[in-house]
Structure 1
Amino acid sequence: MKLSHTRMSSIFVLDQDEALDFYVNKLGLEVGTDADLGFMRWLTVRVPGDNREILLERPGPPAQDPGTADTVRELVAKGAGGGWLAFQTDDVDAAYEELVAAGVEITDPPSDKDYGRDFGARDPFGNGLRFGNVTA
């Protein structure tokens, strides 16, 4: 089997409108798809110019039965949803300053690591975000 790259990832969010506002207006991503499928809202965002998309998925059908969806929502609300995203940037410190000014929760200030310079943040639902300039 030959694979090339991942075209889509997903993270759990509790409120898709709030997630859309955060990822578009604070992080500068763009909407990929926003479609009402009847049984769910298919909402994706992406880095401008990139074809890889992030599904901002509200826990529930068809992926989970109602009981499982309730448990997943409880975990997400506690910041234990397990999702995280990593973004590449040419200027880690400028990205940090921009996100601080936008009110994004920072979990780990910029620092040099063995693999490059990066910092950590969190979205409104507890999903981890990393922003870095990976050199290794």
Structure 2
Amino acid sequence: MSEGIEVIGIYVRDQDEALAFYVDRLGFRIQADVRNGGYRWLTVQHPEQPTLQLGLFRPGPPVHDAATADALHGLVAKGAMPPLVLQVKDCRAAYEALSAKGVEFVQEPISRYGQVDAGFRDPSGNGWKMIERQRKETA
């Protein structure tokens, strides 16, 4: 039986650009960077979640043909892929800190649905929601 999810992959147009974004701006760490001919297995990890990796993969050979790779790049760039979610303690403070590092937000922090959330995209167009869950008051 399975033991859980280890890697969740996203498509990026340029792995070096994606790596710089996730490490330098979001604070992730490199977990694996292995090259095999024209293929590169590149994963990063959030420092608070060492068992889950985010794969930064380029569509193309040997997995996809050129037409499929182009179509996937187009979908990602248009924001057609489902957003990823980054949980934060303080959405407004994280928004200010990431904005100062050059992260471009498509939605400033707003309060709704019992939480505060903001939205940004990585350099390839992958959408992210940054969510601060409201803490329940205890009596």
Q: Which residue of 2 aligns with 1:58?
A: 58
Q: What secondary structure is seen at the aligned counterpart in 1 of 2:94?
A: helix
Unaligned stretches of 5+ in structure 1?
none
TM-score, normalising length from structure 1?
A: 0.87
Residue 90 of structure 1 is matched in structure 2 by 89
Any idea what SS the aligned residue of 2:37 has? coil
Where 2:124 maps in the other structure, the secondary structure is coil
How far did 1:26 drift?
0.5
Give the aligned CA root-mean-square deviation in angstroms. 2.0
Per the alignment, residue 75 of structure 1 pairs with 75
DSSP 3-state at the match of 2:96:
helix
Q: Give the direction of change, closer, same or farther, for the CA distance of 1:115–1:6 in structure 2 (3 Å limit).
A: farther
TM-score (ref. length: structure 2) = 0.85
Give the whole-Å Cα distance in 2 for the aligned partners of 1:83 and 1:90.
23
Distance 1:113 1:5 in 2: 31
Judge conservation of contact 1:12–1:81 (CA < 8 Å) in 2.
Answer: no
Deviations 1:52-95 (A, max 9, x none): 0111010112331222112222333x424515321111111110
The unaligned stretches of length 5 or more in structure 2 are none
